[in-house]
Structure 1
């Protein structure tokens, strides 16, 4: 149990819940049902979500990640072979499996077959529901694998520009980013859902894994040079900073590991995300906001001394938190044996502070 301080200074006890699902009760019920080998609640949830592409992307990502045994999605697809939702979830599962095979140092043949299965599942899902951005988001995930990304794009041969070069103002993106990458895949996501949160984070991850943390930071900062197509993309630099911190200080970079977060750059990105994204969210929509975004923002604000802003974000999170970035930062800094102890201490200290008068 830990103490939660309300805005009027009173306190109530809440247990800490570590889960990316947050307060989305319908999603939690569907995940629990999947863990029991049943897909009906997930099917109903996605049907209810409909063409809310942002929520569909988030919920399908968490359904795939929390299901436990992925065979439940294959069962669903076998029973409903023409279901766009079943096909989308199977594509989610297979693309995640391909990435796990690669990260698990499986043989090149194993990874290649897994990637092919994932790409085929993505194409099938896209054929069944062309307006859905999720299959293209999954293709961006597959682009991290060491195979030609153009193979994921059925329109690769008909595109006018070099495939991995961002054409001027294509797909709603302004020219000016010099790093080569799977830009056509992101453009296809953008055409279906401008500013799709996961799509842009997959692009950031692509640069992080295939280029460098500097390239990922370039992409994140470039995206927020002007008003991004979705307010939650103001969080991109905050995530890029966490990756940069992990790389620079994760092994033996003791020097500067705490002052890293007090730099003007880190503080500026956190404060901008707070004002240009978080404060615009109606409180009744908090359950459908990415808890990972809230958790990353709360950490960045606390680390930079912006406790009043951080307190508002923590209140929006309620009893929920994601392990990252707290776990990795705690490991690097060696603060506590358990990252949750650090989070609880930081949370209690932040919520106890009174606004300056």
Structure 2
């Protein structure tokens, strides 16, 4: 039991994943905003700007950092203040627009995104090579259920700048899902088209497995008998093949190198346990190292509790 308790203490929700610089910034922002000093906004802006200036051409990491910061600042006035102070700073504009989307999504008010569309387009003009203004605009389009030609137009703008942008592919997957107005056929066609040409370790490599977990969750949500036999989903050819393609490669050291690799490993561990492939899940949990993502674990309740219980079962080899 001491071993299990030690495991439980190490497991933690960490939106920054293994990005230590981003993690330190989140802690500093939290501490700084609590001081209530007059210079709080200036201090926070300087810290955020410094981080975003690192590896400016690493679009994958910038997208990760922008998304995490937007969620973190969704209920704060900081992003708005920065954009108002520096209306010609593309980073400030993107963060403000993305934070508006995060707030509207959390409050269940899709129409309450203010001037996010115009803000994204201004940022795109200021930083024409940067995909993040278009990633943020894609989030707006998804939230407001724009027509498909418009959404695909925005998506193509992202891909022109960052061919395998993880956030863009997952946004399109959500937009095309039956839960958001698309169809299962559209999801399958989208995943098939991607899988035919995507490198095995691309940042968007989790798109196919994400689609399978989303379908599994939709079965669970129906309740009743279907929920009781939902595990059968993973015995179907497409779901089993999606797991087979990644189960023995993703956990290998250095195979996944993108910024949200740990999120993909959480997804893989969850899917393997849902499919009762516990022996294969063990090395994946080891690779995760206790860094837990809320999704998909939260589908069953508290994500840390769900993660710990799954890890125990995998470790016990039951």
TM-score (norm 1): 0.74
Residue in 2 aligned with 1:42? Answer: 48
Residue in 2 aligned with 1:212? Answer: 183
Residue in 1 aligned with 2:82? Answer: 76
Q: How far did 1:122 drift?
A: 0.2
Distance 2:163 2:2 in 1: 40
2:214 paired with 1:243: yes
Unpaired runs of 5+ residues, structure 2, are: 34-43
Distance 1:341 1:145 in 2: 30
1:1-357 equivalences under 5 Å are 3=3, 14-35=9-30, 36-37=32-33, 38-67=44-73, 69-99=75-105, 103-104=108-109, 111=111, 114-115=112-113, 117-146=115-144, 148-149=146-147, 164=149, 182-208=151-177, 209-228=180-199, 231-252=202-223, 253-275=226-248, 277-279=250-252, 281=254, 285=257, 288-328=259-299, 330=300, 338-353=302-317
Q: How far did 1:115 drift?
A: 4.6
Deviation string for 1:213-256 (max 9, x for gaps)?
44324322332134359624331121112221222221323342
Residue in 2 aligned with 1:8? Answer: none
Asked if structure 1 preserves the Cα contact closer than 8 Å seen for 2:165 and 2:203, the reply is no
The alignment partner of 2:206 has SS state of: helix
Residue in 2 aligned with 1:160? Answer: none
Distance 2:279 2:215 in 1: 26
Deviation string for 1:82-128 (max 9, x for gaps)?
32221221121123345456x337xxxxx2xx456110110111111
RMSD: 3.1
In structure 2, relative to structure 1, the CA distance for the partners of 1:147 and 1:183 (3 Å cut) is closer
Distance 1:196 1:236 in 2: 11
Deviation string for 1:166-216 (max 9, x for gaps)?
xxxxxxxxxxxxxxx722211111110111110111111111212134432
Higher fraction of helix:
2
Residue in 1 aligned with 2:39? Answer: none
Unpaired runs of 5+ residues, structure 1, are: 5-10, 106-110, 150-162, 165-180, 332-337
In structure 2, relative to structure 1, the CA distance for the partners of 1:229 and 1:322 (3 Å cut) is closer
Q: How far did 1:276 drift?
A: 5.8
The alignment partner of 1:203 has SS state of: helix
The alignment partner of 1:144 has SS state of: helix
The alignment partner of 1:324 has SS state of: helix
